[in-house]
Amino acid sequence: MTQPSLDRETFELLWSDLSGGRTLGSFVGSGIVPGVGEGISLVNPADGRPMGEYQDAGADVAELAMARAVEAQRVWSSLSGAARGRHLVEVARRLRALGEPIARLEAVAAGKPLRDTTIEVEKVAEMFEYYAGWCDKLHGAVIPVPTGHLNYTRREPLGVVLQITPANAPLFTAGWQVAPAIAAGNASVLKPSERAPWSSVVLARLILESGVPEGLVSVLAGLGPTSASAAIEHPSCSKVVFVGSLAVGREVAALCARRPIPCVLELGGKSANIVFADADLDSAIDGALAAGFAAAGQSCVAGSRLLVEARLYERFIEALAAGAAQIPVGHPLDMRVRLGPLGNEAQYQRVQAMLERSSEGHRVLRESASLPDEGYYVAPTIVADVRGDEPVAHDEVFGPIVAAISFNDEREAVELANDTPFGLAGAVWTKDGARAHRVAAAVRAGTFWVNGYKSIHVSSPFGGFGESGYGRSSGFEAMLEYSQTKSVWVTTDPP
């Protein structure tokens, strides 16, 4: 497959057009602010070559972002909900107007296929439109207390929230968090992964250009232990939302607890994709391919544990391997490509180490028409005949590896599905409607699909059970996460 090219100079011009400046740094107030800390190099995951450098924002830029956010939030929260909603609609319009170049920027920076990032830009526009509709509908209630009082509640914004997002879907997760936060009247300080800050800065610029107060949405381009920690510890930070690994999530929760301030954690997953023998075979195979290999497996809800009923097991994994071999792997800018590279070299080495360990004592089914000579590419892989206690079955791989496990009956399937500390997502494939509902109720997961996989929309609440975290980041529940309740008592008895 011919590899499209996007050299560094061309990429920098694309970045300059979208961000308003050639320099990469944090976005605070009305423009880019250079960092002063450690130098950070950005690498194109499609070929392993440098794409840019910038300096860690650090405590001083975090202080500036927080100060500007406080000022902007006072003005923003004083607007009517309808007025805020109109700004969010304008953000959506601007995203769509620049959809093609933003999708190209995201494809190269995050290593995601252009066909995926094109869809994601549209999804982020939908997020702002959805929350635009909630801006004037967040309200309290009147409580019939048994005393001579009028008691009512108000839903009020938190103030300034810090949102820490990952490298696997930078733009998507930025929109997922920022849209409900500002819809509820807050200011947002966004700290994207240091490996992929580009699209977050572009989003902040588009939000500013919609007419919101300067500083309402800032982006800290930098490292977690320095930039994010400084923002968490700032007295103006009222809540933290973190999307990422369990290990870092624990550190974030500990920092929040020291203040103390609340946090929402969307952490890892090891989701079970359960296939019963009566499932529609073609649909289940297509679903398993998408569940395991979409985004090169770099998804928190990836169906990386494939549980197949024993009497269908051999037939199913053979058909799945044949389908996986047909997935087009290659450069993210090629619209034919369905599977791009892993996001960085460290993750590539981790996945290769897992493959090496898993190849001992297992059938490993992996074929691809071709893999590019450069970049962090891994062919879609099925590790067959896995036990539930092996690393490939219980550790989050974050790569295109599916661990295939057989089961004998419904009880065993549910036990295997729940044999993990994670609880982010799962699915079941069966024509038995009663069994589908039983399994959906029995599996511990925040999102569960029946005869489908990875259907996600901004209108539906999303979050995890167990070590996959707590709190919800979408739907109306996100408006509750980004606001707080005040109870007001008015004395009505005569003196």
The stretch 161-174 carries a mean pLDDT of 96
The stretch 3-24 carries a mean pLDDT of 75
* Among the listed residues 207, 215, 124, the one whose alpha carbon sits nearest the alpha carbon of residue 171: 124
- Based on the number of CB atoms within 10 Å of its own CB, is 346 exposed (0-12), middle (13-18) or buried (19 or more)? exposed
Task: Specify the long-range contacts of residues 382-385, CB closer than 8 Å, at least 24 apart.
Answer: 382/292, 382/306, 382/317, 382/320, 382/321, 382/324, 383/358, 384/317
pLDDT exceeds 60 at position 2: no
Q: Which amino acid is at 422?
A: F
φ, ψ of residue 259 to 5 degrees: the values are -80, -50
Asked if 409 contacts 310 with a C-beta cutoff of 8 angstroms, the reply is: no
- Give the model's confidence band at 66: pLDDT under 50 very low, under 70 low, under 90 confident, else very high: very high
Cα separation, 337 vs 371, whole angstroms: 12
Angle at 285 between CA 280 and CA 287, to 5 degrees: 95
- Give the model's confidence band at 451: pLDDT under 50 very low, under 70 low, under 90 confident, else very high: very high
* Among the listed residues 114, 129, 125, the one whose alpha carbon sits nearest the alpha carbon of residue 3: 114
The stretch 196-200 carries a mean pLDDT of 94
Q: Which amino acid is at 367?
A: E
* Among the listed residues 246, 242, 241, the one whose alpha carbon sits nearest the alpha carbon of residue 269: 246
The stretch 9-22 carries a mean pLDDT of 80
- Give the model's confidence band at 16: pLDDT under 50 very low, under 70 low, under 90 confident, else very high: confident
Looking at residue 430, what DSSP letter applies? Answer: -
Is residue 396 flagged as an active site residue? no
The stretch 401-410 carries a mean pLDDT of 97
Q: What is the pLDDT at residue 187?
A: 98
The stretch 350-375 carries a mean pLDDT of 86
Is residue 256 flagged as an active site residue? no
Residues 6+ apart with CB under 8 A from 409: none
pLDDT exceeds 80 at position 284: yes
- Give the model's confidence band at 14: pLDDT under 50 very low, under 70 low, under 90 confident, else very high: confident
- Give the model's confidence band at 4: pLDDT under 50 very low, under 70 low, under 90 confident, else very high: low
pLDDT exceeds 50 at position 364: yes
Between strands 39-44 and 49-55, the pairing is antiparallel
Q: Which residue is catalytic, options 266, 410, 467, 481?
A: 266
Residue whose pair of structure tokens reads 């029995």 in the numeric block:
442
**Please, what are the domains in the chain?**
8-267+470-484 (3.40.605.10), 272-457 (3.40.309.10)
Q: Which amino acid is at 488?
A: V
- Based on the number of CB atoms within 10 Å of its own CB, is 34 exposed (0-12), middle (13-18) or buried (19 or more)? middle
pTM recorded for the entire structure: 0.95
pLDDT exceeds 90 at position 389: no
Cα separation, 19 vs 11, whole angstroms: 12
Q: What is the pLDDT at residue 1?
A: 47
Angle at 368 between CA 276 and CA 338, to 5 degrees: 75
Q: Which residue is catalytic, options 237, 256, 263, 300?
A: 300
